[in-house]
Structure 1
Amino acid sequence: MTGDSEDPNDGEQYHLEVGPEDVADSVLLPGDPERVEKVVEGWDDHEIVGEHREYRTATGTHEGTPISVTSTGIGSPSAAIAVEELARVGADTLLRVGSCGAIQPEADVGDLIITTGAVRQEGTSKEYVREDYPASADHRVVSALVAAAEELGYDYHLGVTCSTDSFYPGQSRPGFDGFEARDSEAKIGELREAGVYNFEMEAASVLTLAGIYGLRAGAVCTVYANRETGEFRTEGERKAAKCASLAVTYLERMDEAVEEADADGWHAGLSIER
């Protein structure tokens, strides 16, 4: 049992420095704090409501839908802190947005990868639950991201993501001075053969925690590098953010359709015409 001084549930959150009135139900999660301003470019309006360390939070509206964005920094440990504290102030929908490295040849630089589930090759989620617990994206979030990508005319791929704790050896890249981790090539080969689409560093923890806490979550990343073809370009940086922002608007309409139909959940028979 912890003392009151260690209870982070009431009022302003320790790391994010936001409270229950600061954050919308749906929150986009980029890594880099500098990306927050790029995320909100397409919104109707916004204001910065919290800024501390790697965490920068803005809240506004997109096509009239309330929406927030919180940067998480690099990696699953800091992303898990963001999920914890956003959940405590009332957020229930979390969309990881960022960049990634593709390991399938058909995923071109600039394409989007919409995550259906994640390989938990990071340590954070293992501190929450057994290793065979799935890191699954919510089917409503996946559907909304696909609908958004289709409307925006973006090329995208649906598939499994691998989240790692290391950008270099953990993703089968050489480390300093050519260092190679044990079984590095075999590991990336196994993932490629299993149909895994991309490497990044946060999705697995976000999806795992969302599953545990009964939140809905997903992830969409722009391909910056293709490890199979050797291409690398920081192209299409804003695509993931635009797709996720529009997906939040779709999710609101999906929720309204469920309520109007008195359905138990979202299904493809419900209309969300824009």
Structure 2
Amino acid sequence: MAASDLPVANGKIYHLNIAPEQLASDIIIVGDPDRVTIIADEYLVTREHEAFHRGLRTITGTTREGLRVSVVTSGMGTPSLEIVLGEIVALNEIDFATMTRKPHHDKINIIRVGTSGGLQSQTRLGTPILTAYAVGLDNTGLFYDADYPDPGCLAIEKAIRQAIDGAVRSTRFKGTIHPYVSRADPAVVEAMEESARERHVTVKKGITVSSAGFFCNQGRDIARVPPSIPDVDAVLGSIGDLHEGLRVENMEMESSFLLHFMTALGYGAGAICPAIANRKQETFTASYVQNVKDATEVALAALMKLRR
């Protein structure tokens, strides 16, 4: 493998600035580097390594329950996430001494804990949304030619594409926005559902939309440039049941590529993101610390279950 394809310096991968042995096989991934510190302070009883480089923080340690876990920053959006996940996989699969792929590697389980906007009017602020499927309105996943993991992905993709094509203005971009659909690992979803029940945390399971931006990409029309898809949040939230009773529940910026990439590699991936805004009700809360804490505890307990 060429040095220009996978930059490594002093035995450490370039952007995360960590060595393979400094990354755990169980990972909580978050967008905000400060949230890495908050989670580590709350849940890790030991810390074996901490790194901060180019805005990306990684802390690896052990929980009270004995789970070795890394808490890693993804940054905002799928382009940044692509870099981080690419390096996580390389740390697990590439022998840095020879720059060749290892004949065997560990199973990674990774869960995103983040925040999101709820798209259904009945969703209470702070409710953690468990992602079963994710719709990518970014184009990062389009550069990784992964197969559909199940027929549901294809069915959801067709329905979303039809809704978007019907909602795009008659502009230069009509017919050019191509959603892709990915699936969370069912075992990860089941483990999080069980963990939520055990902790009496009420969650909603559904379909998550990952956008390439925060404002116009998610229906926030605040600029003087008109949107290509007016009220895209309302368009997607109103579609109805798409697969096995699931609806589009929330919007954020990362889950689509996380599930698309990691599932294609055979790793376990999932996402749990409290809805801190209700787009239908036009409400928002800045008091969501406990909701993120609940989601983190569900995710950590799920990772523990998956290792048993």
Q: Would you say same fold, with TM above 0.5?
A: yes
What is aligned with 1:161? 208
Equivalent residue letter for 1:155: T
What is aligned with 1:86? 88
Match of 1:109 among 99, 108, 125: 125
Alpha-carbon contact 1:160-1:197 (below 8 Å) kept? yes
* 1:237 Cα deviation after fit: 2.8
Structure 1 unaligned runs (5+)?
257-274
What is aligned with 1:3? 2
Instruction: Sort the Cα spacing of 1:203 and 1:250 in 2 relative to 1 into closer, same or farther, 3 A.
Output: closer
2: CA distance, partners of 1:171 / 1:212: 27
Alpha-carbon contact 2:233-2:279 (below 8 Å) kept? no
Match of 1:142 among 186, 189, 209: 189
1:159-238 paired onto structure 2 within 5 Å: 159-177=206-224, 179-185=225-231, 188-194=234-240, 195-238=247-290
Percent identity over the alignment is: 30
Alpha-carbon contact 1:141-1:217 (below 8 Å) kept? yes
Equivalent residue letter for 1:233: T
Instruction: Sort the Cα spacing of 1:246 and 1:113 in 2 relative to 1 into closer, same or farther, 3 A.
Output: closer
Q: Secondary structure at the match of 2:20?
A: coil
Instruction: Sort the Cα spacing of 1:182 and 1:71 in 2 relative to 1 into closer, same or farther, 3 A.
Output: same
Question: More displaced, 33-42 or 160-169?
Answer: 33-42
Instruction: Sort the Cα spacing of 1:78 and 1:186 in 2 relative to 1 into closer, same or farther, 3 A.
Output: closer
Instruction: Sort the Cα spacing of 1:240 and 1:141 in 2 relative to 1 into closer, same or farther, 3 A.
Output: farther
What is aligned with 1:37? 37
Q: Secondary structure at the match of 1:89?
A: helix
Number of residue equivalences: 254
* 1:113 Cα deviation after fit: 0.3
* 1:122 Cα deviation after fit: 0.7
Equivalent residue letter for 1:138: D
1:97-136 paired onto structure 2 within 5 Å: 97-129=113-145, 134-136=181-183
Q: Secondary structure at the match of 1:141?
A: helix
* 1:85 Cα deviation after fit: 0.8
Q: Secondary structure at the match of 1:79?
A: helix
* 1:81 Cα deviation after fit: 1.1
Q: Secondary structure at the match of 1:193?
A: coil
* 1:43 Cα deviation after fit: 2.8
Instruction: Sort the Cα spacing of 1:106 and 1:45 in 2 relative to 1 into closer, same or farther, 3 A.
Output: farther
Matched, 1:22 2:22: yes
Equivalent residue letter for 2:191: A
Alpha-carbon contact 1:65-1:249 (below 8 Å) kept? no
What is aligned with 1:54? 55
Q: Secondary structure at the match of 2:33?
A: coil
* 1:144 Cα deviation after fit: 1.6
Alpha-carbon contact 2:120-2:237 (below 8 Å) kept? no
1: CA distance, partners of 2:49 / 2:289: 21
Alpha-carbon contact 1:26-1:92 (below 8 Å) kept? yes
Q: Secondary structure at the match of 1:74?
A: coil
Q: Secondary structure at the match of 2:263?
A: helix
Q: Deviations over 1:10-44 (max 9, x none)?
A: 94111101111111111111101011122121232
Alpha-carbon contact 2:51-2:57 (below 8 Å) kept? yes
Instruction: Sort the Cα spacing of 1:186 and 1:133 in 2 relative to 1 into closer, same or farther, 3 A.
Output: closer
1: CA distance, partners of 2:3 / 2:304: 36
Structure 2 unaligned runs (5+)?
93-106, 147-177, 241-246
Q: Secondary structure at the match of 2:220?
A: coil
2: CA distance, partners of 1:133 / 1:181: 20
* 1:252 Cα deviation after fit: 3.5
1: CA distance, partners of 2:303 / 2:117: 27
* 1:175 Cα deviation after fit: 3.0
Alpha-carbon contact 1:114-1:220 (below 8 Å) kept? yes
Matched, 1:152 2:204: no
Q: Secondary structure at the match of 1:210?
A: helix
